[in-house]
């Protein structure tokens, strides 16, 4: 009877430990899926910006004598972004993605600042509509990046804690990298054209 009691106790302990570990594993899987789902939202926001660019370029290029180099920089930056194959679980890959997106942000910012020199362009309803859409998209990108970092933090915390750490190593579950702030990225590209009453540059037509 004593031996049977010990066996029963042992079985109960094994079952209990197994239940805890299984729960931990399932929790990690769920958190990992949440990170992937949020990454999809990040991609959607960036794709929305990429989809706006052809219309923006077409609208701006309709203005006589608009800087060709500025338009080419935006087009090339957009193409470079499309060539980046990103793995959000790989720090180096995510860094390359951020670098490409940052380059596109800089090119867009330059285009919009140069547009200040074209009063007729600024007065265009189509251009104003694109301006509003772009500004909203930049804000959405910032929001979705922040949410991605939150989900990644939740996942990473579980990966590093016991007993999740046991499964992380056993099943190849690694920490997720975070989006990191790039110099100047705390502000969306300048998409407003009121520079505090500064004198506007003369129109190229003058």
- Please tell me the pTM assigned to this model: 0.76
Return the SS3 of 198. coil
Q: Where are the domains of the chain?
A: 27-170
Q: State the pLDDT at residue 200.
A: 37
Q: State the pLDDT at residue 189.
A: 44
**Secondary structure of 26-95 as H, E, C letters:** HHHHHHHHHHHHHHHHHHHHHHHHHHHHHHHHHHHHCCCCCCHHHHHHHHHHHHHHHHCCCCCCCHHHHH
The tokens of 67 are what?
A: 């800087």
Cβ-contact 70, 110 below 8 angstroms:
yes
pLDDT (tens digit per residue) in 135-179: 999 999 999 999 999 999 999 998 888 877 877 777 778 899 999
Mind listing the pLDDT tens digit of every residue in the chain (206 residues)? 767 767 667 676 666 666 666 777 788 889 999 999 999 999 999 999 999 999 998 888 877 577 888 889 999 999 999 999 999 999 999 999 999 999 999 999 998 888 888 888 888 888 889 989 999 999 999 999 999 999 999 999 988 888 778 777 777 788 999 998 655 444 444 444 333 333 333 334 33
What b/e readout covers 185-201, taking b as 16+ CB neighbours within 10 angstroms?
beebbebeeeeeeeeee
Q: State the pLDDT at residue 67.
A: 81
Cβ-contact 179, 97 below 8 angstroms:
no
Q: State the pLDDT at residue 10.
A: 66
CATH class of 27-170: mainly alpha
Cβ-contact 140, 48 below 8 angstroms:
yes
C-alpha dist (Å) from residue 15 to 1, 7, 28 = 21, 12, 20
Q: State the pLDDT at residue 162.
A: 80
Q: How far apart are CA 106 and CA 134, in angstroms?
A: 14
């Amino acid at each position: 009877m004593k031996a049977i009691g010990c066996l029963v106790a042992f079985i109960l302990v094994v079952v209990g430990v197994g239940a805890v570990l299984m729960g931990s594993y399932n929790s990690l899987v769920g958190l990992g899926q949440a990170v992937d789902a949020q990454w999809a939202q990040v991609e959607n926001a960036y794709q929305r910006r990429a989809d706006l660019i052809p219309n923006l370029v077409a609208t701006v290029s309709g203005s006589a004598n608009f800087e060709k180099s500025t338009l080419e920089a935006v087009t090339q930056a957009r193409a470079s972004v499309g060539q980046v194959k990103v793995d959000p679980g790989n720090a180096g890959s995510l860094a390359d993605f951020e670098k490409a997106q940052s380059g596109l942000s800089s090119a867009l910012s330059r285009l919009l600042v140069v547009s200040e020199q074209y009063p007729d362009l600024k007065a265009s309803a189509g251009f104003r509509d694109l301006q509003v859409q772009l500004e909203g998209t930049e804000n959405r990108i910032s929001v979705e990046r922040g949410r991605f970092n939150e989900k990644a933090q939740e996942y990473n915390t579980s990966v590093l804690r016991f007993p999740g750490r046991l499964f992380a190593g056993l099943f190849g579950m690694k920490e997720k990298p975070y989006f990191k702030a790039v110099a100047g990225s705390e502000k969306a590209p300048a998409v407003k054209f009121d520079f505090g009453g500064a004198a506007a540059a003369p129109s190229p037509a003058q």
